[in-house]
Each structure stands twice: as structure tokens, then as C-alpha cells.
Amino acid sequence: DGLRIEGNSVSARANNGIDVYGDNGSTTCHGINFSVVGNVVNGALVGVFLETVSHGTVSGNVIAHCTMFGATVNRIHGEPGSIIISGNEINAVPAGVRITGDTGGVSIRANSISDFTDAGVKLGDGAGGGETVVVRIHRDAKIERGGHGDGLAGIFGPVCAVRAGVA
């Protein structure tokens, strides 16, 4: 509770650059009230990996050249929720932000996501597991120059509800 990761520089990691883990085997998230702010992650597997956490922010980070994703929100047992991903610069990654499994609310706003090869924002795990992911992509998000084209065409998910242009 109350974890703050701020102002770090992480490069050339074979694993996740920053990993916030809140699973303890129960249906409750134990990684709560966290913030990941103003960090630089270059060359990690995943820039910022959020695992079964809630009530937190990922903002003002520069994430580049990761081999899988810029940022990931994942669920093991407890449902992640009340997470804001905002004001980050994410570039040169296969997918900018990836959300897997059921969530209790993730907001993606005012990020600059560019030079992705798969999707700017990727919803679901791609395995056809039937999860429901609801994400708000705010109108000030900048998603461009990706494998699926510009703008909202950079959002891809097997089963998802996306609300674009929400204030």
C-alpha cells in the first residue's frame, strides 16, 4: 500500500523494467494505492508490468524499445481496477498498452503511443478466453504510426468494449 516508484532509469533488461505485483492468491488486490511516475525504461521485455493491482497511476514515463509491450495490466486472481495510465511516451514497441483479463476500470489518457508494430492499445489476451475489458481511451490520446494505421485503428482486441472520445 502506498508504493511510489519515481525518477528511475532502467535499460537493457531481459525481464520487466518495472514490475508491480499485488497477487497473494485471493480475489483481493494487495498492490493498492501505487504510482509509477517519471521513469525512463529502455529495452525491457515489458516497460511497466502491473499484476493484480488497483487504485494507482502510471504517468509521465518514457518507455521505448521493449520487446513485448510498453505497459501491461494483467490479472491473476484479484481484479485490477481504478488504474490511470496517462501522460506517458511509449514508442518502438510491438504494442503500446496491453490490458488482459477482466478489469474493474482502466483509463488510458493523454499518452503518446507511436512506432508500434502490432497495436497501440491491445485488449484481451488473444487466446479467446471470453474476458470483458472496458477501457476509456480519452480524446487527448495520441496513437499513431502503427502496424494497424493511425488513430483508433491502433486499438485491437478479441472481446472488448472501447469508449473513444470520452472527456
Residues of the chain with pLDDT under 70: 125-167
152 backbone dihedrals φ, ψ, rounded to 5°: -70, -10
pLDDT digits 0-9 by tens, 100-123? 877 778 888 889 998 888 888 888
Output the pLDDT for position 141: 55
CB distance 71 to 85 below 8 Å = yes
Q: Element (H or E) spanning 33, and its range?
A: strand 31-37
* Cα separation, 114 vs 119, whole angstroms: 10
CB distance 50 to 56 below 8 Å = yes
Output the pLDDT for position 58: 98
Q: Which three cell numbers stand for residue 2?
A: 502506498
